[in-house]
Structure 1
Amino acid sequence: MKYLLIVASLSIASAGVIKEEACDGVRINGTYYEKEIIKTDLDRPYLLTVDYSTNTLYFSYSIKSDEDIFKTARIDLDTNAFSDIDIVNGFAQTVDYEHQKVFIGSNDGIYKYDHDTNQVEFVGQRGSDIWAIYYDDVLYYSEFPSQFLYTLSNGTATRFKDLEDTKVDHFVTDGDNTMFYTNATGLFSQKKGTKDAVLIEEFPHNGPRGLTTNKYEDVYVCMRDGIYEVDKTQPSLKKIVDVDDCFGIAFDIYDEIIYADWKSLIRLKESDIC
């Protein structure tokens, strides 16, 4: 089974001290963002994704026990209302934006989740331990422990030919029909329909814990020490936010960054306070 090592004072002495304490957010490309704690007291929130049609964040987190047990949950990003989803060992989440469907991968296959009724429906791959899941033109998923990538269409699972000899940890696509994926070697990009992989960054030790795209389909990477943007022209990674023990990343309907550290979900909200 998978196991992921997935860790004010108040002062009125002077206005300068007060301002310094108030400005504990981050700057990205010259713009200041406040840190809003959406939810805390979670154990390693992971594999974040947002359904833009409802502005709902889906993610998994660990349940403390003798075994590795995970639970999928959701948060309404307009109200911060939190609720668990009734699925055993829900682990990976993705959204089909065109049809407004949410899919959840568990250690017993893939399910479809209905936001309005709060019900899950089995889709396929009974008995498979789903490691990663992503929707683009079809539903992509990888299994544990092989981490080979498959597509699931009309109930039929097929090894994805572009990456048939490659293990996949995290996987996204951008607006240029380019795949970005990670494995034990590093972060790669590869045009769909080809086998021409480009190594963007090698990871000799600790690799990414999440990939995502924003509304402009730029690619972002969550590493243990922070959030990085993929520069497709180089190609390379550019660090934009320092995070102590980052576990996941997503963007909400307003294109605000949401990220997870080892115990909390945090949103970066643009502000002119500093």
Structure 2
Amino acid sequence: MKYHLIVFGLSALTTLISGKSHCHACFDSICYSKALIFQNHPISGQLAVDRVANIVHFHYEDTRTADHTVAFDLDDIRFLYIPDIQFSFARTVDQATRDVYIGGANGIYKYNPITNETSRYGLSDKTIWHMQFKDKIYYTIFKTKGLYTLEKKQSKTIPALKDFNIDDFIIDKKDDIYFMSNFTVYKLKKGESKATFFSSIIYSLTTDIQDNAYFVQRENRGLYKINYRTGRLTEIGAFGSGAPIRTVFDNYNNVIYYDADDDKLYYLTPTYGRCKVTNEGKGKTLRKKVASFFD
């Protein structure tokens, strides 16, 4: 197996060289520098972070078409293998127990990082497509309509979403559900019985450590956040290059993302240099440009 890791530490948080900041992303007018976690093999499915230990979980397939479900410790800078499971697509973490729920072609597995053991958990006759843990497991099934919950190994459907093909979803701090279906973003507000239109722009969805809802637009590399006062999206900033398609926040609320352009997994940390984001092009060719004030 071939893989390359770039070692980084907390010193990266304040790196400034020759009066200029590394500015690979610009969020809230602050420069972020990227460090490489993984390359050489495409990553598939969800990223998930154990925020207690600051470990990111992911899956990749090597050149022999062998599957690997693995993790990387962001604090101790070490590569970890998850035992007794190879292929997986969906991943989520119970932050209270640190249990990692891993979904694939044969249902859901549970990985205990304390004992380093993986066991079958349930739904062995289902192919799990996407998951999020928020007091219980929320999940979707491959090529099957609807969103389901799994609690105490009992599965239930969410009636309001039974007719939707759901590609991506999140549950935010208000327990509202945002989801992608047929190239459209919808919102199911807590307690309501019908989902409503939210956006016709294609986003990937994620939440931060406070369960604030974030939206990433691959084409213009923009990062957006729900303004909970207005209920609308606010632009936070942009990635400087590439095509960020999967994004998670670690326990410092820093961004980890997979770049579809170069098949690499990156970790962003603030340099505290100042920056700005401008738009280039028009219409469908609109892109975000990140520029440091030090440049």
TM-score scaled by length of structure 2: 0.76
Q: In the alignment, which of 246, 258, 263 is matched to residue 248 of structure 1?
A: 246
CA–CA distance in structure 2, aligned partners of residues 32 and 239 of structure 1: 12
Residues 65, 130 of structure 1: alpha-carbon distance in 2 compared, 3 angstrom cutoff: farther
Residues 89, 147 of structure 1: alpha-carbon distance in 2 compared, 3 angstrom cutoff: farther
CA–CA distance in structure 1, aligned partners of residues 195 and 234 of structure 2: 16
Question: Would the aligned equivalents of 2:47 and 2:247 in 1 still touch at CA under 8 Å?
Answer: yes
Partner of 1:213: 207
Residues 102, 183 of structure 1: alpha-carbon distance in 2 compared, 3 angstrom cutoff: same
Question: Aligned with 1:128: secondary structure?
Answer: coil
Question: Would the aligned equivalents of 2:105 and 2:127 in 1 still touch at CA under 8 Å?
Answer: yes
Residues 177, 234 of structure 1: alpha-carbon distance in 2 compared, 3 angstrom cutoff: closer
Partner of 1:267: 267
Residues 60, 147 of structure 1: alpha-carbon distance in 2 compared, 3 angstrom cutoff: farther
CA–CA distance in structure 2, aligned partners of residues 221 and 133 of structure 1: 17
Question: Would the aligned equivalents of 1:231 and 1:237 in 2 still touch at CA under 8 Å?
Answer: yes
Bigger mean CA offset, 250-259 vs 39-48: 39-48
Question: Would the aligned equivalents of 1:92 and 1:130 in 2 still touch at CA under 8 Å?
Answer: yes
2:232 partner amino acid: P
Render the CA deviation track for 1:223-268: whole Å, top value 9, x for unaligned.
3332422334252363622342223101111111111113211111
CA–CA distance in structure 2, aligned partners of residues 198 and 165 of structure 1: 13
Gaps of 5+ in 1: 1-17
CA–CA distance in structure 2, aligned partners of residues 22 and 230 of structure 1: 25
Question: Aligned with 1:32: secondary structure?
Answer: strand
Q: In the alignment, which of 210, 217, 221 is matched to residue 223 of structure 1?
A: 217
CA apart distance, 1:192: 2.0
Question: Would the aligned equivalents of 1:38 and 1:264 in 2 still touch at CA under 8 Å?
Answer: yes
Question: Would the aligned equivalents of 1:180 and 1:188 in 2 still touch at CA under 8 Å?
Answer: yes
Gaps of 5+ in 2: 1-16, 274-293
Spell out the pairing of 1:107-126 with structure 2 (5 A cutoff): 107-126=105-124
Paired positions, count: 251
1:83 partner amino acid: L
Question: Would the aligned equivalents of 1:201 and 1:236 in 2 still touch at CA under 8 Å?
Answer: no
Partner of 2:25: 26
CA–CA distance in structure 2, aligned partners of residues 227 and 74 of structure 1: 27
Question: Aligned with 2:89: secondary structure?
Answer: strand
CA apart distance, 1:50: 0.8
CA–CA distance in structure 1, aligned partners of residues 225 and 272 of structure 2: 27
Q: State the Cα RMSD in Å.
A: 2.4
Question: Would the aligned equivalents of 1:74 and 1:83 in 2 still touch at CA under 8 Å?
Answer: yes
Partner of 2:91: 93
- Percent identity over the alignment? 26
CA apart distance, 1:107: 0.6
2:196 partner amino acid: V
Residues 192, 234 of structure 1: alpha-carbon distance in 2 compared, 3 angstrom cutoff: closer
Question: Aligned with 1:162: secondary structure?
Answer: helix
2:166 partner amino acid: V
Q: In the alignment, which of 93, 101, 104 is matched to residue 103 of structure 1?
A: 101
CA–CA distance in structure 2, aligned partners of residues 247 and 60 of structure 1: 15
Question: Would the aligned equivalents of 1:188 and 1:201 in 2 still touch at CA under 8 Å?
Answer: yes
CA–CA distance in structure 1, aligned partners of residues 130 and 90 of structure 2: 6
Residues 227, 114 of structure 1: alpha-carbon distance in 2 compared, 3 angstrom cutoff: farther
Residues 91, 98 of structure 1: alpha-carbon distance in 2 compared, 3 angstrom cutoff: same
Question: Would the aligned equivalents of 2:185 and 2:198 in 1 still touch at CA under 8 Å?
Answer: yes
CA–CA distance in structure 2, aligned partners of residues 111 and 183 of structure 1: 26
Render the CA deviation track for 1:116-144: whole Å, top value 9, x for unaligned.
23221111011211100111122111111
Residues 148, 197 of structure 1: alpha-carbon distance in 2 compared, 3 angstrom cutoff: closer
